[in-house]
Amino acid sequence: MKVKFFGNIRDITRIKEIQIKGAANVGQLLRELCDEYGKAFRDKVFRGNEITGEVIILVNGRNVYFTGGIDTALNKDDEVSIFPIVAGG
């Protein structure tokens, strides 16, 4: 599957996107990405075992908040996008 990084998440990973194989769900994918990109990435995406309020994660354009969170199932052809929360006025 293709994973795309945006905003300050991209600053941590230093790449726009990566191909990942074998992650069965969003939680497993995020843990693999934490292993790859370290503590700064982990601190942005996880609070305990849950996704922080600092990121929005989309699978094929759908926010995982509405599809099962970390338990959202993934397929090899999915596209996952990880965005930081952006505030403004």
What's the pLDDT band for 86 if we cut at 50, 70, 90? confident
Q: State the number of CA atoms in the 13 A half-sphere of 47 facing the CB.
A: 5
Tell me how far apart the alpha carbons of residues 40 and 38 are, in angstroms, rounded to a whole number: 6
How do residues 23-75 score in pLDDT, each as one tens digit?
999 999 999 999 999 999 999 999 998 999 999 999 999 999 999 999 999 99
The alpha carbon torsion through 44, 15, 2, 27 (nearest 10 deg) reads -20
Tell me how far apart the alpha carbons of residues 31 and 79 are, in angstroms, rounded to a whole number: 17
| Structure tokens given for 60 | 């094929």
**Block residue for tokens 């600092």:** 54
pTM, to two decimals = 0.93
Locate the domains of the chain by residue range.
2-84
The CATH superfamily of 2-84 is Beta-grasp domain (3.10.20.30)
